[in-house]
Chains A and B, each alone.
Chain A
């Protein structure tokens, strides 16, 4: 082989703590290395051109670039060597930035380590073989998990682009958290008025199939060809027949069912439609609260239903769909704020979450849009908002900022003044984070026009004053003194965490998630809506805290990714798949038993049973290679020989 080495300075990122010229010099002593240099920016246009030139000038048939992580630029450099006529797999990378220069300051040790990593890359490269991709067909259909505003936007954009969409929603209606909001910042326009038409569009769009009250049971397959199983939970109402007239819930005698849509601020009936603008506008029976289902006698709704839609013995149904890619838009839930014992930990009826307060503000809420205290139904005069309840608080394991609480608190304070002109609102805050368009102006209006009193500091305790109100004790860090405020109602801006069940979904999707359940994007800056699993995209808060405009933007961004993917009729597989050496294979089938993807099957060659790889199904994990004692199955580009070469390069010295 004739190998060329490029030790990238990455400006001063690498050269700052690694002697790149020295590494290049050492590299010339490695076997088969005929050329070594140390460009300042290898990934830049001149840097890539230099690689191409060196391949021609020095007749290189293998290239090693030592620079950043291969997770960053391996595809870039593979394209570079391919342009110069080499197979893209005759290229190796040594990660001397993330794994060397950025984590150690000892220049000698770093230089030595970088040279060893190059030595390993050379050792592996000498065992590389050219690999060629195979192409396969794409199923041009997308599954969107989650029908909040991000999922709705993604669904509409995909559908408008001509792609059939399956939209999956766990609740009985789409709309997500946004549907629960009364107004939205910074324009204070009505949430239902801007979201409602989009929801109707989803219902009416010929390209969108909506599965509400359904969950993802199982996913198998790979980009272009996923098979998903969807569990349609029993609603006990035949939605084909239900017209959404609401007669059933008017007559339902079980009237004390907790109203989850209203964040438990009110009660509803056991059979109900969550809110007037629900999509689909269909009734669902709560099995836990229905008298017919729990006690076996009642049957009022079945009698009253003009279309005979009620089916008490309905069972869950599992349907299978084939899709080409998946968008996760599962949103968020509030963290468990009852850990805050100092705020009553959920014990005081008038200490509520901001989402509950939102329902009190909303015309479709339990109070019809009149702000009334949950405890006695009286109008509050003093309202205290406490921010960062479960955000930026390491003591409860929530170090991150939930992003949008500053803004909605300002909005709620403004709306409070609109609803109750003689009220006074106070906001305890840590910092005001209002970086969006028109955001800072909005918070200023809350203070300057609406007289909201902002107090910079934390609250140490909330307790009842014995006369029906509450005392909020806190500190004003700007004035440097403690404050006590009498409050009729206390609203907590509770921090967010990933939607309940997000981790389980991530495991099914085979994507990573962080400690809080938020899904991990492929690159925090450059690939914000992609994941490391090809064909799985992320939109909205499931990836991290963001407000409505950002969620909508991500919804559209994922749609763009889907449409770009589906612009091609065939995709190329990654040729890093397993290969069977049929001479070595004894047909024991251990590999077939272990393969997580069913990518290996039995075949008969000259009367003998052998293993065979289905290359388009193989995902390249290499479990079969480890399982086969004969070494008959080898994962291309991570063969036993290649890994052993790296081990030997490192240990035998």
Chain B
């Protein structure tokens, strides 16, 4: 059945059984007239409302979504709405980065006795949605392709780390090797301008260890695979945050992991390097100096200054040295901490909502659904049971449409709420260069704003904010309905 022509818009409500649904019943019993647009889905608790249900509805064509539950401190299940409040507020701050107006989603607390309040909430929310009109759809947006200017001013000097204590580290690893299953690091890849993962089991393997701006991948991604086996890992600062987050989430055990760290001076954005190199048959030489790399490909020299070709995340990196390590060698450059918006996010910040929608439309058209983003993510731990492959729960279908692709990205991003350390591997792994890190960055920004500047992966003992709550949230204020 289509929405009644010109009369109604599609508004979906998720109501907890005990308070809000009861409040809606109370309003009905009192014959408190309301607009007819709203369709109510009854759930046991607002804590049961996965933010992804809201997104699903919005992507599938809802013009507005309303979540309602018991007033804070009045939850039938003691604390469900406390968790809901945090998750829904993060969602609300996430929607605009997709190009969805956050006014189309609202949550409100209504008790079972508050029939009048319910009438007021429904009436004013419906009025708001009608004032905004039917929601624009990604399908209808004209694709917009825009590339962020990735080179920013770095918080510290970026370099090529040629003075790092690599040989010293190799000796330490060799000493530790007998008690370890293996040590994960990097080695030179198919040519001098690329690195690949290295799994060191013998001293000869250790000699292959390389360190420098081509060590882009995050070795922490492999750690959960070695769960229960004592494993070493060589980390850059950003990688160490993933290790910490894995520890925080009980996905690996501290006693099972030995962390070796060197100070990172930044890594290269391989996509941009490849772009500049263009097509080539072989790399003749890679020469390092303090400020960058000179690559000779097919006899032609290409200069890559770190300040111009680093990964976007490296410019704003405040943790060049591992936040947690068993062995730390070398001295990192001092960081002058200034808050800076990552380049991908800055680009989206500058766009209007409609442009963002058009942007994601354009980007998602390019998405291959290869799931390299997922496979590269150290915090993606579902592996064989990813909802994108297993089809159960039925979050996604096989359809290769914009909504499905974008929905996968939002699933990934929301599953990473308060967990993403911003390592950027999802974006780096993307073969078509979709700046999906921006979605995670927006959530990380919201989490930091809401929860005392919380950043994932800094403290193994910290409770991730979306796995906890405060009875009185400092930064989440109940929106009144006047």
**Which A residues form the contact surface with B (CB < 8 A)?**
26, 69-72, 95, 97-100, 102-106, 108-110, 112-113, 115-117, 119-120, 506-507, 510, 512-515, 520, 532-533, 576, 583-584, 586-590, 593-594, 596-597, 619-623, 625-627, 629-632, 634-635, 638-641, 643-648, 650-653
- Residue from B35, B40, B249, B395 in contact with A99 in the complex, judged by beta carbons closer than 8 Å: B40
> Cβ of B41 < 8 Å from any Cβ of A?
yes
Q: In angstroms, how far is the closest chain B Cβ from the Cβ of A40?
A: 20
Q: In angstroms, how far is the closest chain B Cβ from the Cβ of A640?
A: 4
Q: CB distance A533 to B76 under 8 Å?
A: yes
Binary CB contact string for chain B from 376 to 395 against chain A (1 if under 8 A, 0 otherwise): 00000111010100001111
Q: CB distance B10 to A651 under 8 Å?
A: yes
- Residue from A119, A506, A597, A646 in contact with B1 in the complex, judged by beta carbons closer than 8 Å: A119
Q: CB distance B48 to A109 under 8 Å?
A: no
Q: In angstroms, how far is the closest chain A Cβ from the Cβ of B462?
A: 13
A103 to B18 Cα, complex, angstroms: 20
Residue among A102, A512, A653 with the highest chain B CB neighbour number at 10 A: A512
Q: CB distance B113 to A99 under 8 Å?
A: no
A604 to B467 Cα, complex, angstroms: 23
Q: In angstroms, how far is the closest chain B Cβ from the Cβ of A225?
A: 16
- Beyond A621-B80, A647-B56, is A638–B44 a contact (Cβ under 8 Å)? yes
- Beyond A510-B76, A653-B1, is A646–B41 a contact (Cβ under 8 Å)? yes
Q: In angstroms, how far is the closest chain A Cβ from the Cβ of B375?
A: 16
- Beyond A520-B111, A588-B250, is A99–B24 a contact (Cβ under 8 Å)? yes
15 more contacts with CB within 8 A, not counting A512-B76, A596-B77, are: A98-B24, A98-B27, A103-B28, A109-B4, A512-B18, A515-B114, A622-B43, A627-B83, A635-B48, A640-B50, A647-B56, A647-B60, A648-B60, A652-B60, A653-B3
> Cβ of B121 < 8 Å from any Cβ of A?
no
Nearest residue (CB) in A for B34 is: A103
- Give the residues in chain B near A514, CB-CB below 8 Å: 111, 113-114
Instruction: Count chain B residues whose beta carbon lies closer than 8 angstroms to a beta carbon of A.
Output: 73
Q: CB distance B43 to A631 under 8 Å?
A: no
A588 to B395 Cα, complex, angstroms: 22
Q: Closest 6 CB pairs between A and B?
A: A98-B28, A622-B48, A640-B393, A621-B77, A651-B60, A623-B47
**Which B residues form the contact surface with A (CB < 8 A)?**
1-4, 7-8, 10, 12, 17-19, 21-22, 24-25, 27-29, 31-36, 39-45, 47-50, 53, 56-57, 60-62, 70, 73-80, 83, 87, 111-114, 119, 224, 249-251, 381-383, 385, 387, 392-395, 415, 463, 467
Q: CB distance B31 to A103 under 8 Å?
A: yes
- Beyond A109-B7, A113-B36, A621-B77, is A584–B48 a contact (Cβ under 8 Å)? no
- Residue from A69, A507, A623, A626 in contact with B74 in the complex, judged by beta carbons closer than 8 Å: A507
Q: CB distance A69 to B28 under 8 Å?
A: yes
A100 to B48 Cα, complex, angstroms: 24
Q: CB distance B111 to A510 under 8 Å?
A: no
- Give the residues in chain B near A643, CB-CB below 8 Å: 41, 43, 48, 50, 53
List 20 A-B pairs, Cβ < 8 Å.
Answer: A71-B21, A104-B34, A104-B36, A109-B7, A112-B4, A506-B74, A510-B78, A583-B385, A596-B80, A620-B44, A621-B77, A627-B83, A627-B467, A629-B381, A631-B393, A635-B44, A646-B41, A650-B41, A651-B10, A651-B12
- Residue from B7, B382, B395 in contact with A640 in the complex, judged by beta carbons closer than 8 Å: B395
Q: In angstroms, how far is the closest chain B Cβ from the Cβ of A627?
A: 7
Q: CB distance A640 to B25 under 8 Å?
A: no
- Residue from A576, A583, A623 in contact with B77 in the complex, judged by beta carbons closer than 8 Å: A623
Q: CB distance A653 to B44 under 8 Å?
A: no
A651 to B55 Cα, complex, angstroms: 12
Q: CB distance B31 to A586 under 8 Å?
A: no
A73 to B440 Cα, complex, angstroms: 45
- Give the residues in chain A near B395, CB-CB below 8 Å: 631, 640, 644
- Give the residues in chain B near A653, CB-CB below 8 Å: 1-3, 61
Residue among A100, A506, A587, A596 with the highest chain B CB neighbour number at 10 A: A596
- Beyond A623-B47, A641-B393, is A512–B28 a contact (Cβ under 8 Å)? no
- Beyond A596-B78, A622-B45, is A630–B62 a contact (Cβ under 8 Å)? no
- Residue from A110, A120, A597 in contact with B36 in the complex, judged by beta carbons closer than 8 Å: A110
A71 to B25 Cα, complex, angstroms: 9
- Beyond A623-B80, A641-B392, is A109–B56 a contact (Cβ under 8 Å)? no
Residue among A103, A593, A594 with the highest chain B CB neighbour number at 10 A: A103
Q: In angstroms, how far is the closest chain B Cβ from the Cβ of A596?
A: 4
Nearest residue (CB) in A for B63 is: A651
Q: CB distance A71 to B28 under 8 Å?
A: no
- Give the residues in chain A near B21, CB-CB below 8 Å: 69, 71
- Beyond A71-B22, A586-B381, A652-B61, is A622–B75 a contact (Cβ under 8 Å)? no
A331 to B119 Cα, complex, angstroms: 30
Nearest residue (CB) in A for B39 is: A650
Q: In angstroms, how far is the closest chain A Cβ from the Cβ of B69?
A: 11
A162 to B476 Cα, complex, angstroms: 50
A619 to B80 Cα, complex, angstroms: 11
- Give the residues in chain A near B4, CB-CB below 8 Å: 108-109, 112
Q: CB distance A626 to B50 under 8 Å?
A: yes
Q: CB distance A512 to B48 under 8 Å?
A: no
Q: CB distance B467 to A594 under 8 Å?
A: yes
- Give the residues in chain A near B119, CB-CB below 8 Å: 103
Nearest residue (CB) in B for A609 is: B250
Q: CB distance B75 to A629 under 8 Å?
A: no
- Give the residues in chain A near B415, CB-CB below 8 Å: 629
Q: In angstroms, how far is the closest chain B Cβ from the Cβ of A215?
A: 18
- Give the residues in chain B near A651, CB-CB below 8 Å: 10, 12, 56-57, 60-62
Q: CB distance B48 to A532 under 8 Å?
A: no
- Residue from B74, B77, B381 in contact with A619 in the complex, judged by beta carbons closer than 8 Å: B77
Q: CB distance A512 to B74 under 8 Å?
A: yes
A622 to B249 Cα, complex, angstroms: 20
A97 to B28 Cα, complex, angstroms: 7
- Give the residues in chain A near B48, CB-CB below 8 Å: 621-623, 625-626, 635, 638, 643
